Amino acid sequence: MNSDPKSSSNPLKLLRSLRLSHLSLLLMPLLSSWQAGAAVALPSGSADAIRPSTVSAPNAAAPSVNSPATANFVPQLVIDIANQISVTTSPGLPALGHPEKFLPSPDPLAQIHLVLKLSERRVYVYDRDQVKTSFPVAIGRAGWETPTGKYQVIQMQHDPIWQHPFTGELVPPGSDNPLGVRWIGFWTDGTNYIGFHGTPNAESVGRPASHGCVRMYNQDVVKLFDMVEIGTPVEVVP
């Protein structure tokens, strides 16, 4: 940019340097009034009037635009008026309206938790504090009771492979797999695991029949599998 002092003392060149054509049109009458020694009113909304720092006598000639008074005063006048116009003419921001449109949607599964009631042999699916649905289950038999307490889902598997707890034999997915079509683990001692799973022995559902796991009808465990995720709370109560 040209740093010629004469350019900076000329109000018209200064206005052109601002590259605000509408500001130039607004300030021209104001500068004319200033040269005549009249009070210059700010845009509507201002309670004060700007007067030049040096006012000529009524019969005195208007000061030259290159005079020291003009050179020292006009830049501040331009700044003040520009700031005032910026404040009074800037459009307000539109209302946000519906903020939920701009915020991430909450995860519906984050509000789901399970309560397994051993005495009822039934697992309840809660959405916050409301029961969403429930399913009948088989629980651990005497000596292999399903442990009570507060846990969370730690494993989820489609068509799981079952390992015999005593012989180590592996049983692949299929109609004879003791885990059925889904596995939802929620307890472990570091070696053994307990969880919800399907079963090929549908007649055992509703009874204390397992080694601690929670058996379900295959069609029910598929539904439950789709309702939970890793971390879903699981509470087992007597």
**Is 197 annotated as catalytic?**
yes
Active-site entry in 22, 113, 158, 197: 197
Written as six digits, the tokens of 15 are 């206005």
Partnered with residue 116 across adjacent β-strands are 123, 236
Q: Are 20 and 14 in contact (CB under 8 A)?
A: no
Active-site entry in 113, 158, 164, 213: 213
Q: Are 207 and 121 in contact (CB under 8 A)?
A: yes
Residues with catalytic function: 197, 213
